[in-house]
């Protein structure tokens, strides 16, 4: 169940961050409406993927995904744009991922 959840978080990150990046490229880098449209579709796919999480609590899923988004955005920037995070970026992302682990995977009584 945890592995499924982690894979869904990764897929959601690709859809949302990729979608936002495509819109950014379309608007800020003047690549046009095709890029923007692809971004909008990817952003919609993100919303769908989030519903596939095993946990049924919307607030918990979206709160945890926030941490995945932070780390994933830094990683996307490294791969797609050559961004080099500094140690504080990395530490912040690790703190966010620790928060994801607590929110999603600590046993509840």
The confidence score (pLDDT) of residue 17 equals: 97
The mean per-residue pLDDT over the stretch 85-105 comes to: 97
Q: What are phi and psi of 85, to 5 degrees?
A: -65, 145
pLDDT tens per residue across span 31-58: 999 999 999 999 999 999 999 999 989 9
pLDDT attached to residue 76: 96
Give yes or no for a contact between 12 and 49, defined as CB atoms under 8 angstroms apart: yes
Residue 57: the pLDDT is: 93
Kindly state the percentage of the chain with pLDDT values over 90: 95
DSSP code string of the chain: -HHHHHHHHHHHHHHHHHHHHHHHHHHHT---HHHHHHHHHHHHHHHHHHTTSSS--HHHHHHHHHHHHHHHHHHHHHHHH-----HHHHHHHHHHHHHHHHHHHS---
Q: Model pTM?
A: 0.88
pLDDT at 109 over 90: no
Q: Give the Cα separation of 105 and 55 in Å (integer).
A: 10
What is residue 98's predicted lDDT score, i.e. its pLDDT?
Answer: 98
Distance CA 18, CA 88 (A): 23
Q: Residue 59: its pLDDT value, please?
A: 95
pLDDT digits (tens, 9 = 90+) for 19-29: 999 999 999 99
């Amino acid at each position: 169940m945890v592995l499924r959840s982690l894979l869904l978080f990764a897929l959601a990150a690709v859809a949302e961050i990729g979608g936002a990046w495509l819109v950014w490229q379309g608007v800020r880098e003047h690549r046009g409406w095709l890029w923007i449209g692809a971004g909008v579709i990817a952003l919609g796919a993100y919303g769908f993927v989030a519903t596939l999480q095993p946990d049924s609590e919307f607030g918990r899923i979206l709160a945890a995904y926030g941490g995945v988004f932070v780390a994933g955005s830094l990683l996307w920037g490294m791969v797609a744009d050559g961004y080099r995070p500094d140690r504080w970026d990395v530490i912040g992302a690790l703190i966010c991922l620790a928060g994801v682990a607590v929110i999603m995977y600590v046993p509840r009584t």
